[in-house]
Amino acid sequence: MAQKKENIVMFPFMAQGHINPFLALALRIEKTKKFTITFVNTPLNIKKLRSFLPSNSSIYLLEIPFNSSDHDLPPNSENMDSLPYHFLINIFQASLSFKPHFRKLISNLIQEKNGQKPVCIISDMFLGWCEEIAQEFGIFHAIFLGGGGFGFACYYSLWVNLPHRSTDSEEFVLPDFREASLFHVTQMTDFLRSADGSDSYSSFLRKTLSQWSKADGILFNTVEEIDKLGLTYFRRKFGRQVWPVGPVLLIPGSQGRSRRDFGISPEECKNWLDKKPSCSVIYVSFGSMNTISESQMMQLAMALEGCGKNFIWVVRPPLGFDINSEFRANEWLPEGFEEKIKVSGRGLLVQKWAPQVEILSHKSLSAFLSHCGWNSVLESLSHGVPMIGWPVAAEQFYNVKLLEDMIGVCVEVARGKRSEVFHEDIVEKIKLVMTESEKGRK
C-alpha cells in the first residue's frame, strides 16, 4: 500500500515579494513528490494564486478569513503591492488577527486527516507568532525568509538594538555584528532612525523578530557560498538550524500575477527585446512596493535618455501619488520624454507590472538598475546580469553592501527615496556597468 504523504503548511505575509518565494519553495517541494502542501493566505491572494497555478498542481490553496475594512485599510486591500507604503503598519497589525483563525485552520486540518498532524509549518518572517501555534500542536516550525542572510542580519541587529538617534550623520558599526564593517547612517530608513522601541512600527517588528529565535529552524532563500557572514551570524545568535535553501525562484510566467496586471505582455516584451543586439539593454525596476520621488524620477529619465543605451523601465507613480493611479507622463517625466523614446525605439516604458524574469533571462539584457529587493537580486544573479543598486527600503541597503563590497556584482548609484541624485551620476554608473571598462567587465 502506498504510504500517505505528510503535509507541510506554508503561510507567507501578504506582499508579492513574500508570496513569490514561498510559492517557489512550495513548487520545489511539490516536485519531490514526498509531501502534500497546504498554502495559506487571504481570500484575494488565494484567488490570484488559483488563477495561475498549473491546473495539475497538487498544492492545496486555503483561505484564511480577512476583511481589510476591519483594519483601517481600503476595501479589498490584501496585498502590499496595491497599497501605499505607509499602510505597511496596518497590514502588520492586521496580520496579528490571523492567530485564532490559523489555530482553527490547523485544528481542522488535523481533524480532516484523522488526527495526523502536519509535519511542519513554514511561516513568514513577519508572522513570528505562528511559532506559538506550532508549539501548541507539537508541530515543527520553520521561518522562511525570502531574503538573504547578510541583509537580514543587519536588519535584525539594527531593530533589536534601538534607538539609533545618536548615530546622526556618522558612520557606525552594527552593535552585535562587528564583522560587517562600517555602515553609514543613510543606510537606515526613516522608520529605523526615528524608532525608539515604543512606536507601533518598532513594537511590532521587535516582537516578531524576537520570535525568530524560538523557531525550530530558519530557512533563507540564499546560497552559503555568497552569504556565509550573515548565515553564521544567525547560527551563532540563535543556536538553531539555519538552512540556505536558495535560490528558489519562480519560473517565468508565474510571478503571482494574472495577465490583466501586466503593463505589457511577455510576448510583446520578448519581441521588443529580440530586435535589440545582445547585451545592449538596461532594465529598471524598483520592485513590487517601492517607488522614488518625482525629482529622482526626472533625473532617472534624463539619465536614461542621455546614456544612449536601450532600456526597459517599469514606471510606478512617484512618492505622493496614488499607487494605483493612471500613468501620467506629463507630470512624472520630462517634457516630450515619452514621445522621444517612442520615436527613437530605444526605450520601453512599462506601466504597473513587467514580466521581470523573462526580461532578465533575455540575451539582450546587459544590466539591471534595481532597488535590490532580494528576489530581484537572485533573479539577476541567476541570469548573470550585473546590477546598479538604488536601495530604497528595509534590508535593501545591506543587500547592496553585500553585492558591491563582498561579491563585486553591483555598483550603488543612489540611496533612499528622497536622496538627491543627479542624472550625470546615473549615466556614469550605467556606462561603467554596460561598457567594457575593467570594473564593468568584472
Return residues touching ligand UDP (CB under 6 A). 16-17, 20, 255, 285, 287-290, 314, 353-354, 356-357, 373-376, 379
Tell me which long-range contacts 338-341 makes (C-beta under 8 A, separation of at least 24). Answer: 340/305, 341/305
User: Minimum distance from CB of 265 to ligand UDP (Å)?
Assistant: 13
User: Minimum distance from CB of 373 to ligand UDP (Å)?
Assistant: 2
C-alpha cell at 175: 552593535
- What does residue 61 show for φ and ψ, rounded to 5 degrees? -90, 125
Cell 529619465 identifies what position? 301
Buried/exposed code over 241-270 (b: 16+ C-beta within 10 A; e: otherwise): ebebbbbbbbebebbbbeeeebbbebeebb
Q: Considering beta carbons, is residue 211 or 376 the nearer one to ligand UDP? A: 376
Q: Residue 369: which H helix or E strand, with range?
A: strand 365-370
Q: Considering beta carbons, is residue 118 or 147 the nearer one to ligand UDP? A: 147
Q: Considering beta carbons, is residue 84 or 163 the nearer one to ligand UDP? A: 84
Rounded Cα gap, residues 147 and 374, in angstroms: 5
Q: Residue 23: which H helix or E strand, with range?
A: helix 16-32
Q: What is the dihedral of CA 257, 259, 264, 270, to 10 degrees?
A: 90
Q: Considering beta carbons, is residue 78 or 131 the nearer one to ligand UDP? A: 78
**Chain residue at closest Cβ approach to ligand UDP:** 17
Q: Considering beta carbons, is residue 38 or 375 the nearer one to ligand UDP? A: 375
User: Minimum distance from CB of 270 to ligand UDP (Å)?
Assistant: 14
CA 260 to chain centre: 21
User: Minimum distance from CB of 255 to ligand UDP (Å)?
Assistant: 4
C-alpha cell at 18: 513574500
Q: Considering beta carbons, is residue 57 or 382 the nearer one to ligand UDP? A: 382
User: Minimum distance from CB of 88 to ligand UDP (Å)?
Assistant: 11
User: Minimum distance from CB of 375 to ligand UDP (Å)?
Assistant: 3
